[in-house]
Each structure stands twice: as C-alpha cells, then as structure tokens.
C-alpha cells in the first residue's frame, strides 16, 4: 500500500489516500477545491519493516542456514557449507539492494506560483522547479493504449515523471489532482 499526503492550504488538514482506496475521501474534498494555492504532496514507498527489523530477519535466516550447513559439515558433507555461505551472501546482497530504495520518494509543492518537485531514488536526488503557468500534466500510455499510465509534469525547460510508487488507478488520480491544482 502506498500512501500519499496532501495538505490543504489554510485548512491544515492532512488527507491520506492509500493505494487500496477507490475515491478521494469526501470529508477532505474542500481541501482540494482551491481555498489556497499552497499544496504539498509526498509520495513514497510503503516500507512494512524497519531497517532494524530487516536486519534481525536476515540474521535469523543467516544463522539458521549456516547452522544447518555446519551440521552437515560435521556429519561429513562439508561441501554444503560453502553453498550455504553463498546463499547467505546472495540474500544479504538482495536485502542491501532492496534497502537502498526503501527511502525513495517524490515530494511535490505548489507555493506562491512556483511548482517544486523533489525526486529521491536510492543515493540520488534531484529537484525540479517550474513556473505554474508553464507547467502541464500529461498522462502517457505505452503504444496502442496498453501498459501502465505514466504521469509526466512538463515545463518550459523539461519534464519529470511522477507517481512511480503508485498503482495505475492512483497515477490517474494524481494527474487529475495536479491538473486541477495547476488551473487554480
């Protein structure tokens, strides 16, 4: 489940949408109707386990695997131990690669006629700023209308893809919300 949050200007209420929700919560609808031009949105991955919890799970799996391998080595099947070590090494590498992207996010802010997008992917982060009057939202689909929709924010000097951590339905909702905000 991916969660994104929007702050409705002067209302100060936090609107939370999950990727399992089907529509915008009507209780917070007034936050999206343009009572203020200030708007912030944070889109990030849902991490269901903390880094410390992930390390504990990895340690438990590694100790179990190496323990079984050591037991077979003591019983005379010593060739199992190097393969158990390779298995632990491969699992550790997979956890490390997954952990590098656990903090990925997209932050969108519309304040004082300026649209700012900050994108963090692994160790890299980029910040894009554009004038609201020149910004346009485009929903692109792969050839022949198949494939996942891609939301692009286009400005006078380039474009940036948004909603990478959302499912298809939420990307379309994101595009509609941004289009509505840019018209205000």
Q: What is the pLDDT of residue 67?
A: 96
User: Residue 69 and residue 138: Cα distance in Å, rounded?
Assistant: 55
Using CA atoms of 169, 172, 177, 180 in order, give the dihedral in degrees to the nearest 10.
Answer: -150
The answer, as to whether pTM is greater than 0.85, is no
Provide mean pLDDT across the span 39-49: 85
Within the chain, strands assigned E span 3-8, 14-18, 39-44, 105-111, 114-121, 124-131, 136-140, 150-155, 158-162
pLDDT tens digit string along 140-181? 876 555 677 888 888 878 888 888 888 888 888 888 888 888
Specify the pairing of strand 124-131 against strand 114-121: antiparallel
Question: Cα dihedral sign for 151, 153, 158, 164?
Answer: negative
pLDDT tens digit string along 49-94? 888 888 999 999 999 999 999 999 999 999 999 999 999 999 999 9
Backbone angles phi and psi of 173, in degrees to 5: -60, -40
DSSP, collapsed to helix, strand or coil, labels residue 22 as: coil
């Amino acid at each position: 489940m991916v969660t994104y949050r929007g702050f409705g200007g002067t209302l100060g209420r936090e609107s939370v949408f999950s990727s399992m929700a089907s529509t915008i919560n009507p209780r917070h609808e007034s936050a999206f109707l343009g009572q203020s031009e200030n708007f912030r949105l944070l889109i990030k991955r849902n991490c269901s386990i903390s880094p410390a919890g992930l390390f504990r799970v990895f340690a438990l799996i590694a100790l179990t695997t190496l323990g079984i391998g050591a037991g077979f080595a003591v019983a005379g099947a010593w060739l199992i131990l190097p393969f158990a070590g390779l298995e632990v090494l491969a699992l550790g590498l997979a956890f490390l690669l997954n952990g590098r992207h656990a903090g990925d996010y997209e932050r969108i802010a519309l304040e004082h006629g300026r649209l700012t997008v900050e994108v963090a992917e692994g160790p890299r982060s980029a910040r894009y700023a554009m004038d609201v009057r020149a910004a346009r939202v485009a929903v692109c689909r792969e050839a022949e209308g198949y494939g996942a929709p891609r939301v692009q924010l286009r400005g006078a000097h380039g474009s940036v893809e948004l909603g990478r951590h959302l499912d298809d339905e939420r990307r379309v909702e994101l595009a509609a919300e941004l289009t509505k905000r840019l018209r205000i």
